[in-house]
Every structure is written in structure tokens, then in C-alpha cells.
Structure 1
């Protein structure tokens, strides 16, 4: 594990780390799943965390035994429909959706001259950051449209370090999903999991919620 002094940058996931946008994603995906006749379950909802739009749609179709029921063109149509539903739900989002402690943590990182980037699979992340009032902190963002592989592949977090001009071992990745933790670890960055440690058991460091995400707590966890 790295020394605290080695850390120069933080690569953030968005959903479930910076803000709870997952509730909006879940609502939009559930609307679509029900339209397609697929039973919505908590397990299915959890499996979609941190996964790209098309991969999420394929997981829903698989859950309903409908993997071969639609053409690629039809799938694109449904993925677009979900995104339209999601954007409509997002209109009500503001800074109150920022998770506990995240504002203070980001301010503290900037005070200590750490570099920040965003590694979200969501193509809507620029809009979400604007709605939250946090866009100015995340000028460096991985464009998911440029990626060949989704999480758990390490590509997105490796790119998150690259756009900061840092080596992977100089970066911390922060995630709330198993696929994301695997991505961070695969990129050889220090992984911080936000959530249930039994589920995120591959994370180097675990905090049960964002309010515990502080530089001091990270420092202590690395001792």
C-alpha cells in the first residue's frame, strides 16, 4: 500500500460518491424495465451501479431473459429513452443532493493542492456537476465516449490519473460500486470504497459513508 505522502491526486466516481444521483438512475431504469416487462429487483438495481448505459440495458434484458429480443438499433432507442427520463428527473437536482462531507472534503483537497479528476461512466456528468455547483473543481474529466471498455476494466481510472499528469500510484480512486473498486485496483491506484465493507471488500480503505471521507481519516487508515 502507498504512503500518504505519495498521494498527489484524487480520481472521483460521481454517482454515490459526490452526489446521490443513483436514485434518479434507478427511477429511470425502473420505468424502462417495467415498460419492457422485466421485473425490477433490488439486486438488479445494485448490479447497474457504476455500469455504462448500454451495459446496464443489457443487464436488464438478461434479467428478463430478453437478451436476443431486440436489435442493436432498438437497444439504442431504449437507452436514449432511459436517458431522456433521467434528464427530466435531474431537473430538480441542486446542491442539496451533494452527499454529506463531500463539499468540505473537496475544499480541503484544493487547499492542500491535490489534483482532482472525474472518472464517471455517465455521459451526463458535466450537467450533474453544473446542477450541483461543483463543475469548477472538476475541470479534468474522463470523457466516457473515448473509452473502449467500461468498469470493471481499469481504463477509466487509468485515464483519470493520466489527465492529471500523474502516475497511478500517486492517485487515490474513490468508488461506491464493486465494479469501480475493481477498476481502481486494476489501474494500480489506491482504492477507497464508500459503503458496506462486506460488499466492497476489495477496497484498500473503506468508509461506510462519505461523512467519514477526510484527509485525516485516509492518513490514519494508511498507517
Structure 2
């Protein structure tokens, strides 16, 4: 057998073995697949206005990727407001009711650029797909976007007890898919989410600004910049 031909076969075989390391992609929802941050901000600001303090867009960045009750605690700390546990539950419920009025008006046009194309490519390549989101409204949002069928596993805020940066949501997603954590890539737009992915032993693609997501293995502006070549290149990082 020709030595050059044999060499090429070995290289191709090695590449194929290497590429199979990444078997699943786990996506955060808000800021990755759809931009609901604007609706969260409006709903939280309504609560802050009621309590008589300012809540800015910059303040809202601190709430990305964390649970509703943790977000409320951050909001109350900004306003230096103390509330009982019962009062907190009532405030969180009211915020969610306000938020739902906005997301129930959403449609597929709200899907961020490149998302469907990349999800389609993953399916064609046989890469497993899951959602790992702190949102308790994830199913409602996916249904409004008509994206539910893309995800083999959906782990949201109703299925976890620990907020990011704890890796619980991503580890449960990997478990639901039957894939080991080190074979998973997480797509996140929040610092807490990046920390969660890394502490869970997964690769992470940060979507957003490098000064916030600097620990991610790869940083992009959005899924419109993602492709299989970049995905498989994460094996080397």
C-alpha cells in the first residue's frame, strides 16, 4: 500500500475519532436563543418603581443566568429594601405575571439570528441537543418560538434546586441525554453560566462580551457566527 495513502488514512481516522469527543450541545435560553432580557428588565423595573428606587439596564446585567428568587434578592439589595419571605414570594409571583404578559406575545420572529440554522446543522451531524436554563418559563417560550422539537432534553428552573454558577442544570441536561459532561459544549451569555459550565467539566462558548465571558473557551457575538468547524475545534482547547 502506498505510504502517502496510508498516511492520509491515518490522519483522517484520527480526525474522525477526535471529532466524536463532542457529542452534545447544551443551550441556555435567554440571550442565546432568544433575547428576553428586555422583558425581564421591564418586569423587574416595574417592581423597583413600585418600591420607590431606580433599577437600571446595567443593574439588570447582574440578574442574567440566575434564578428568580436570587434575582429578587439582588433587586432588593440594590434598593436597600428588606422583605419577609412571604413578601418576597408575592413580589416574585407578581414579577413573573408581568413578564408573562410580554412573552405570551412572542413569536418565531424573536429567535436570534443563526439559531435555527445552527440547530439544523447539529441535527444533521448527529449532535445531541438540550436546553439548560434557569427560566421557569422555558417551555412557554420554546412553544411560542416553535423550537420545542429541536431539544431532546429540556432542563429548566422547575427541575433544579441550585442556581448557576452551580452546574446542576447542565449536569442534569447531560444526564438526560446520556452523555458525559466532558463530551458536552455549553452555550451561555452570562458569567454565572460560564462558571457553571466550567465547574461541570464542560466546554463553553460564551455569547457576548469578552470582558464578561473571558473564561469561556470560545467567545462569539451570536449563533450566526457558529459552525461545526468551530465546534469541533473546541476539542483542542
TM-score normalised per structure 1: 0.94
| Corresponding residue number in structure 2 for 1:185 | 198
Aligned-pair CA distance for 1:149: 1.1
Partners of 2:108 and 2:144 within 8 A in 1: yes
Mark the runs of 5 or more structure 2 residues left unpaired by the alignment.
1-17
Runs of at least 4 residues off by over 3 Å? 219-223
More displaced stretch, 34-43 vs 9-18:
34-43
| Corresponding residue number in structure 1 for 2:31 | 16
Between structures 1 and 2, the one with greater helix share? 2
| Corresponding residue number in structure 2 for 1:202 | 215
Aligned partner (choices 147, 156, 171) of residue 169 of structure 2? 156
| Corresponding residue number in structure 1 for 2:15 | none
Indicate yes or no: 2:54 matched with 1:26.
no
| Corresponding residue number in structure 2 for 1:142 | 155
The whole-number CA distance in structure 2 between the counterparts of 1:28 and 1:150 is 20
Mark the runs of 5 or more structure 1 residues left unpaired by the alignment.
none
Aligned partner (choices 47, 58, 81) of residue 73 of structure 2? 58
RMSD, aligned CA: 1.4
| Corresponding residue number in structure 2 for 1:87 | 100
Aligned-pair CA distance for 1:20: 0.8
Partners of 1:118 and 1:160 within 8 A in 2: yes
Determine which structure has more spread, i.e. the larger CA radius of gyration: 2
| Corresponding residue number in structure 2 for 1:42 | 57
